Structure 1
Amino acid sequence: MEPKWLGWAKQLQSIAQAGLTYSKDVFDLERFELIRNISVDILTHHTDMDRTVIKDLFASETGYATPKVDIRGVVFKEGKILMVRENMDGRWSLPGGWADIGLTPSEVAVKEIKEESGFDVKAVKLLAVMDMKCHPHPPSSYHVYKMFIQCEIIGGQAAEGVETSAVAFFAENQLPPLSTARNTKSQIEMAFNYLKNPQEPIYFD
């Protein structure tokens, strides 16, 4: 789904980051720094972002480059799905966010749902692990794996969070405007399919 130039830029960044981490030769380090700068140039050319911002966000990490992990909680109540309105873009998403060091995926799902919607939940099933590049999300400078974890409400009540401005449940045929950087219509439809067919195998890729 993602444009080829973005995939190339991310691959160059990954190669450069690994080279800068493990190389000892001063000339090799110079070459890897050049590769990193080329990856930043590609993003600068194809986007409206300032080069300094791109370098800070995209080309400042160290160590071996690995995908980021985004975890989304899937919660149903009376046949409707829980969603929160994001302050960042005013659109709706499944509650969730980046995985945290020290927490398991299910612990992240439980934490994010509580923080963003007010509900206490327990994680019950992994539904899907998706590579963001294979699905109709907007282009991202990060390579992202998305995990969808079904949870059940055990307490709490609807409450806005620091990053959210509304909490609601939606029927499959009445979805609100979606924050497509976080979740797509096809992913919400997938979640409803698991509600109707709980024996479906885990989706991956």
Structure 2
Amino acid sequence: MEPKWLTWAKQLQSIAQAGLTYSKDVYDLERFELIRNISTEILSEYTDTDKTVIKDLFANETGYATPKVDIRAVVFRDNKILMVRENTDGEWSLPGGWGDIGLTPGEVAVKEVKEESGFDVRSVKLMGVCDKKCHPHPPSPYHVYKIFIQCEIIGGQPKEGLETSAVGFFEEHQLPPLSNARNTESQINWVFKHLHNPQEPVYFD
């Protein structure tokens, strides 16, 4: 579902990043920097984002390029799903964020739920691992794998965090406006399948 221009731009960025990391020849380094600039121009042209901003995003990545990991916690109560309203866009998402060095995916899910919603939870089940490019998210300069982990509430009270302005539970067919950069309606629909059928297989890709 990802537009071809975005796929090409990210592939060019990946090639450039690896080349700039491992090449020693000054002329090769110059060529890889040119490839990086081309990928930056493609993203700037199609997203109306300033080239300096995009280059800064790319420039902070070094070494062999690998996908980023975004972890989302899925918490049900009374057949409703826990969501938080994001400060950045005013829309709603499953609690979550980037994976943290030194923490397991389950530990990240637990931490994010506490920070963003106020609830204490324990992680109980892997629900899915998907590639962001295969889902109707808005364009992103990063290639992202998304991990969905089901958690159970064991304590705490609803409380907004530094990055969230509200906490709520929503029925499957009465979802709030979603932060599509973080989660899509189709993803929320398939995590509800696990609520209705605990034997539902893990989703991937």
State if a TM-score over 0.5 links the two structures.
Answer: yes
What TM-score results when the alignment is normalised by the length of structure 1?
0.99
Shift of 1:60: 3.4
Deviations 1:170-194 (A, max 9, x none): 0001100000000000110111100
How does 1:71-150 map onto structure 2 within 5 Å? Answer: 71-150=71-150
Q: Which residue of 2 aligns with 1:43?
A: 43
Question: Which portions of structure 1, spanning 4 or more consecutive aligned residues, are displaced by more than 6 angstroms?
Answer: none
Shift of 1:3: 0.8
Count of matched residue pairs:
205
Shift of 1:10: 0.2
| More deviation, 127-136/50-59 | 50-59
Shift of 1:100: 0.5
The question of whether the paired residues in 2 share the 8 Å contact of 1:72 and 1:94 is answered with yes
Q: Distance in 1 between matches of 2:119 and 2:84?
A: 12
Q: 3-state DSSP class of the match of 2:44?
A: helix
Q: 3-state DSSP class of the match of 2:161?
A: coil
Q: Which residue of 2 aligns with 1:178?
A: 178
Deviations 1:70-94 (A, max 9, x none): 0000000010000000000000000
Q: Which residue of 2 aligns with 1:60?
A: 60
Q: Which residue of 1 aligns with 2:30?
A: 30
> Which residue identity is paired with 2:125?
K
Q: Distance in 1 between matches of 2:175 and 2:197?
A: 20
What TM-score results when the alignment is normalised by the length of structure 2?
0.99
Q: Which residue of 2 aligns with 1:198?
A: 198
Shift of 1:58: 2.6
Shift of 1:19: 0.5
| More deviation, 46-55/90-99 | 46-55
Q: Which residue of 2 aligns with 1:187?
A: 187
Q: 3-state DSSP class of the match of 2:12?
A: helix
Shift of 1:59: 3.7
The question of whether the paired residues in 2 share the 8 Å contact of 1:36 and 1:59 is answered with no
Q: Distance in 2 between matches of 1:47 and 1:140?
A: 9
> Which residue identity is paired with 1:156?
G
Q: Distance in 2 between matches of 1:47 and 1:194?
A: 36
> Which residue identity is paired with 1:24?
K
> Which residue identity is paired with 1:177?
P
Q: 3-state DSSP class of the match of 1:73?
A: strand
Ranges in structure 2 where 5+ consecutive residues have no aligned partner: none
Q: Distance in 1 between matches of 2:38 and 2:71?
A: 31
Q: 3-state DSSP class of the match of 2:173?
A: helix
Shift of 1:47: 1.6
Deviations 1:52-111 (A, max 9, x none): 111001343110000000000000001000000000000000000000111100000000
Shift of 1:45: 1.2
